[in-house]
Amino acid sequence: MYCPLCETVDTGKVGTDQYYCWHCLIEFNINSKNKINIYYVEDDGSLIDIDVP
Ligand SMILES: [Zn+2]
């Protein structure tokens, strides 16, 4: 799985259809409409939704 931000393949799967990029330190998933959702992971583990143009 490619990272939608930096486009490396250096990502890991962290859940069902959920991936983590070790470069950007973000999580992302792809929904049923093939839209990519990107989340920044806070220090406390909470996810912040990032809108990508
Ligand atoms: Zn990345």
Report pLDDT digits (tens) over 9-52.
999 999 988 999 999 999 999 888 888 899 998 999 899 998 76
The pTM of the full predicted model, rounded to 2 decimals, is: 0.77
Q: How many angstroms is it from 26 CA to the middle of ligand 1?
A: 7
Q: How many angstroms is it from 21 CA to the middle of ligand 1?
A: 5
Residue 42 is given by DSSP the state P
Decide: 3 and 28 in contact? Cβ < 8 Å: yes
Q: Which two tokens stand for residue 7?
A: 């486009």
Which pLDDT value is given to residue 53?
Answer: 61
Q: Which two tokens stand for residue 35?
A: 């839209």
Q: How many angstroms is it from 34 CA to the middle of ligand 1?
A: 18
Domain ranges of the chain: 1-40
Q: How many angstroms is it from 29 CA to the middle of ligand 1?
A: 13
